[in-house]
Structure 1
Amino acid sequence: MMTIQGCLGAFDTIYHHEFSEHLPWKASASKELGIHGVRNFFYGLIFASLGWVAWGGWLAWLFAAMLVGEVLLTLWDFVIEDQSRKLPASERITHTILAINYGVILCLLTPVLLGWAAMPTGFHLQSHGLWSWVMTLFAAGVSAWAVFDYLRSRRFRAPAKVPPLLLAHPNQRVLVTGGTGLIGSRLVQGLIDDGHEVSVLTRDKSKVAKFHGRLTAIDDLTQLRAVDVIINLAGESLSNGLWTKAKKRKLYSSRLDLTRDLVAWIAAAPEKPCHLINASAIGAYGHSDTLEFREDSPPGEPDLALDLCRQWEAVAQQATQHGVKVAVLRLGIVLSLEGGALAQMLFPFEFGGGGPMGSGRQWMSWIHIDDVVGLVGHLIDQGLEGPVNAVAPHPRQNRDFTRALGRAMHRPAIMPLPGFALKLLLGEMAETILLNGQKVLPARALATGYAFRHPDLDGALGDLLAGKM
């Protein structure tokens, strides 16, 4: 049963905490990581003791108190998790199985502890053959992670700063869809801090509890009053999961259906908004290893991303028929520790397993999340219409990007990830998102006077990772 507990715990730590949720890189998870560090320290002691040591006499009750302490730490962890993040279904199921299995372990250990209590007081060496070495393996692993988690919980001692938008026109009424996502969260908090009247359209109103300040949460457009600006960021993530037929349908429907609803609301509204800023992506250009794309460039090689982006943009443009300015924000690879492509890369790089993907020649047109927020403010202030590339001025090829990330993390970046392996694991998504790229330049942003906060990659990565390695 302890072996089952160890295997489940390792899966929960590696898959959920490190790979899926990226907890070591989220400021909001600092307290949770600290609890994990303390709990894992005691788990390591429990594994090692059950493998090799009997706690005799009154020490048996000290060991029992440590077992009960694990329960209390776990309950505290549950409370902190619910306050800081929404757990995926697989993590909740894993936690439930771990709790049940731990209860079985406590029952099975009761007679063992009574036997220890009858022994002379002291630590008595014992061996269970192969099982002792299995417990040693788990003790070493969980103890190492106790140190990792405790040290990484101290990365974020100050709350992450949200850059101000400083819009030229104060007191704007703004609706944000997708306002609890990666970009939306940073943008909504910035708008609130600037004093604007912010509404967030969300299916789960509990998610807005993380924002500091006054805003209105709605789950249906019929609840929306007049607004000046609509910022439409909602859409199913392209990089989350295999592109099955059901996933592809959701990629389209999550974008097109909501955008149609927004256009219909605009058509019926007695007071029209001035501006609709609709998200898109540089996937609208297709892919190419040789072409350079600006906003007026013809597309390269077509793929699903190109078709999806072009359809989404076409639906948004229908709002112009009702006198609304429509700007399309073609997003590149957004650099943030809270999610997105960079967060996916941090785990292998932190442990020295990072390197180029496929040939490494594919272009990565990136942008710091602070500049995404800044560009949204720029679009509103300038009243821009049409496509605007949300990318930094200096795109990099994948091999150069990974070297820069390795430098920023003080880790080697020499472990290549073959393209065929990515295709085998992730299918069409790997081909479209990871192995194909495009060199995109922010021509309109620069021409209209936007000053990038983080124009070069080394500076952007340094800003995000400073003091965290």
Structure 2
Amino acid sequence: MTDPLLWTLISVQIAMGLFDTLVHHEVTERLAWRASQKLELRLHGIRNFFYAVIFLTFAWTEPRGIFTLLFAAILVLEVIITLWDFVEEDLTRKLPWTERINHTLLTLNYGAILALLAPILWQWSFQPSAMVPVSYGWWSVMASIAAFGVAVFSARDLLAASRSERLLKPDAADLVTALPPRQHILVTGGTGFVGVRLVEALVAAGHSVTVLTRDLRKAEVLSHPVRAISDLGDIHAKDRIDAIVNLAGDPIANGLWTSGKRQRIIQSRVAMTNALEELIARLETKPDCLVSGSAIGWYGLRGDEVLTESATSSPAFTHEVCEQWEQAAMQISERGVRVVALRIGLVLGVDGGMLARLLTPFEFGGGAKLGDGGQWMSWIERDDLVRVIAYAITDEDLEGPVNATAPEPVRNAVFTKALAHALTRPAFLRIPAWLLSTALGDMARETMLASQRVVPKRLLDRGFLFRQPELESMLRSITGSSAGSRSKPKQEIGVALR
């Protein structure tokens, strides 16, 4: 089998398959962490196993006689599984346009490979049965590397499929039981990582939800029924809104902080909050409460100091962002609306945020602590944050800044070890602080290397109960590494300050 065109098409198939796996399955769609994709993952695992057999066979042998027929059967099975996979994908998720195009090209290219292979296999099938050793130099090496890669992903996808049932999230309605019935909640940033779960909880509990989003197409991911708008002007002055949750703002831990990026980060938050003030001013019935986002970045870079809501701040860009955001929100209190500014820590969940970006490298043994690993990480599990938001809406005496973090912050080295343990993987790497600072500048210094040991004193003093107060058990639960952890919720726990 020395046809250079055939080997070129095989090389193209490998390259497109690699692109599809890394870009779509791992980065954009994150199939291994979606409970709904159990069957698709199994199909991918079986197909990748067949690909490993195909590539190794091409690389080092020429099957003859009965082995030709067995090899042809594998090629046919691959086609059947691929068609089944296409149907399953269309039934269970909305494919991005790049994935649809890539699938079309993969299908056409595979068809061309089969057309070139058919006469060769026909001739081999009449010869005495044997696996004739061959070598095509670097082509054989490339095919062997590809076989190893798809074999790894085959095992990974089959294991991911087996844990899918343990990734099922608890009943969303249970997260907002603190709310009175039949509330109308306006949510900005409702298509984000936190907003999607908040909207899901509100809708499941029977509340009316209006979501403001810049791109109405993104509202397709939301639970329904929900009213999606792109302009606050679509809300009539006579509309009744019981509470507003303001989560909108450009991502802060995303790329270099150029001067333009800094301005957009601040302006996106302040402008939205000012727009909400204008809305409240023209509403005939004012909402009872505004829960406005902020972040623990308000405190600046603080080392080992324990930070409650009464702590002061230190200069940092993150403080500047949060300070301007909170000031804009607190102005709304002058209109008779109770305002709660949630200083939110690192929000953890497998569906998005920081943790979602870490899962793939950690799963493949690339887990690493950042710098010396001594910096404090103040975190909160996503469902607990949704519960905090509902609590803030309900508690009529709660206003001003509130730390929305779990009671037990941890150092980065502890977090790295706990995540690796939850995924049963090693994590012995370290990314030097100088490398992060050189590559990402202030963004790395203030978000990845910054130390903020924040505790939620006001919530604890008021008796709020966290369901996920401890990092290690929380990570085991949300990553599906502990069977039954999701089906039987942990007892709610309030942790006193020590």
Q: TM-score, normalised by structure 1?
A: 0.89
Select between 45-54 and 149-158 the one with higher mean Cα deviation. 45-54
Choose which of 92, 97, 118 in structure 2 pairs with 1:113. Answer: 118
Equivalent residue for 1:192, pick from 198, 203, 211: 203
Where 1:367 maps in the other structure, the secondary structure is strand
What residue number does 2:169 align with? 160
322, 334, 338: which one pairs with 1:325?
Answer: 338
Q: CA 1:75 to 1:405, structure 2 compared with 1: closer, same or farther past 3 Å?
A: closer
Aligned letter for 1:160?
A: K
The residue number in structure 2 matching 1:125 is 132
Aligned: 1:143 with 2:151: yes
Query: Letter of the aligned partner of 1:400 in structure 2?
Result: V
Aligned partner (choices 224, 235, 248) of residue 234 of structure 1: 248
Question: Structure 1 residue 23 and structure 2 residue 28: aligned?
Answer: no
- Counterpart of 1:387 (choices 376, 401, 422) is 401
CA contact under 8 A between 1:289 and 1:439: conserved in structure 2? yes
SS at match of 1:270: coil
Q: Distance in 2 between matches of 1:167 and 1:367?
A: 19
Q: Report deviation, 1:405.
A: 2.3
Which position in structure 2 is the counterpart of 1:172?
Answer: 183
Q: Between 394-403 and 405-414, report the one with greater CA deviation.
A: 405-414
1:204 CA drift (Å):
3.8
CA distance in 2: counterparts of 1:199 and 1:272, whole angstroms: 16
Cα distance in 2 for partners of 1:30, 1:259 equals: 41
Q: 2:226 maps to what in 1?
A: 215
Whole-angstrom CA distance in 2 between matches of 1:307 and 1:110 = 63
* In structure 1, distance between residues paired with 2:355 and 2:295: 16
Report how far residue 96 of structure 1 moved. Answer: 3.0
Q: 1:345 aligns with which of 345, 358, 376?
A: 358
Q: Which amino acid aligns with 2:379?
A: W
Q: Are the equivalent residues in 2 in contact too, given 1:275–1:380 (CA < 8 A)?
A: yes
- C-alpha distance 154-219 of structure 1, shift in aligned 2 (>3 A): farther
Contact 2:288–2:338 (8 Å) recurs in 1: yes
Q: Distance in 2 between matches of 1:86 and 1:227?
A: 35
Residue 286, structure 1, aligned to residue 300, structure 2: yes
CA deviation string 1:66-85 (max 9, x = no partner): 464365256336525xx536
Higher mean C-alpha deviation, range 53-62 or range 41-50:
53-62
Partner SS for 2:124: coil
Corresponding residue pairs, total: 462
Aligned runs of 1:48-447 on 2, under 5 Å?
48-51=56-59, 52-54=61-63, 62=73, 65-66=76-77, 68-69=79-80, 72-73=83-84, 75-76=86-87, 78-79=89-90, 83-84=92-93, 87=96, 92-93=97-98, 96-97=101-102, 99-100=104-105, 103-121=108-126, 124-125=131-132, 127-130=134-137, 131-157=139-165, 159-161=168-170, 162=172, 163-224=174-235, 225-300=239-314, 302-383=315-396, 384-447=398-461
Distance 1:253 1:46, change over 3 A: farther
User: Relative to structure 1, is the Cα distance of residues 214 and 111 closer, same or farther in structure 2, using a 3 angstrom cutoff?
Assistant: closer
Moved more, 325-334 or 286-295: 286-295
* Cα displacement string for residues 98-136 of structure 1 (whole angstroms, at most 9, x for unaligned residues): 643652453254233223213334565353422123212
Shift of 1:54: 4.5
Match of 1:156, SS state, is helix
**CA distance in 2 between partners of 1:146 and 1:252 (Å):** 44
Which of 10, 35, 46 is matched with 1:38 structurally?
Answer: 46
| 1:8-51 residue CA offsets vs partner (Å, 9 max, x unmatched) | 43344335433565432232443443332233233323323332
Range 28-37 or range 219-228, more displaced: 28-37
Q: Give structure 2 stretches of 5+ with no counterpart.
A: 1-8, 484-498
Closer/same/farther in 2, CA of residues 65 and 410 from structure 1, 3 Å limit: closer
Q: Which residue type is aligned with residue 415 of structure 1? A: L
Shift of 1:421: 2.5
What are the ranges of 5 or more consecutive residues in structure 1 without an aligned counterpart? Answer: none
CA apart distance, 1:346: 2.0
Give 1:65 deviation, angstroms.
3.1
CA distance in 1, matches of 2:351, 2:327: 30
| Inter-partner Cα distance in structure 1 for 2:123 and 2:206 | 68
Aligned partners of 1:388, 1:141: CA distance in 2, in Å? 47
1:210 positional shift: 4.3
Aligned residue type for 2:377: M
SS of the residue 1:142 aligns to: helix
Question: Tell me, what secondary structure is at the counterpart of 1:170?
Answer: coil
The answer to which of 438-447 and 13-22 deviates more is 13-22
Distance 2:94 2:323 in 1: 33
User: Matches of 2:232 and 2:443 in 1, distance apart?
Assistant: 32
Alpha-carbon deviation of 1:94?
6.6
User: Which residue identity does 1:452 align to in structure 2?
Assistant: F
% identical equivalent positions: 36
Checking the alignment, whether the CA contact within 8 Å between 1:61 and 1:117 is kept in structure 2 is no
Write the deviation string for residues 273-300 of structure 1: whole angstroms up to 9, x where unpaired.
1111111110111112132221121102
Question: What is the CA distance between 1:86 and its match in structure 2?
Answer: 6.7
Residue 403 of structure 1 and its aligned partner are, at CA, apart by 2.2
CA distance in 1 between counterparts of 2:410 and 2:189 reads: 28
Instruction: From the superposition, tell whether residues 59 and 463 of structure 1 become closer, same or farther in structure 2 (CA, over 3 Å).
Output: closer
Note the C-alpha offset of 1:63.
5.7
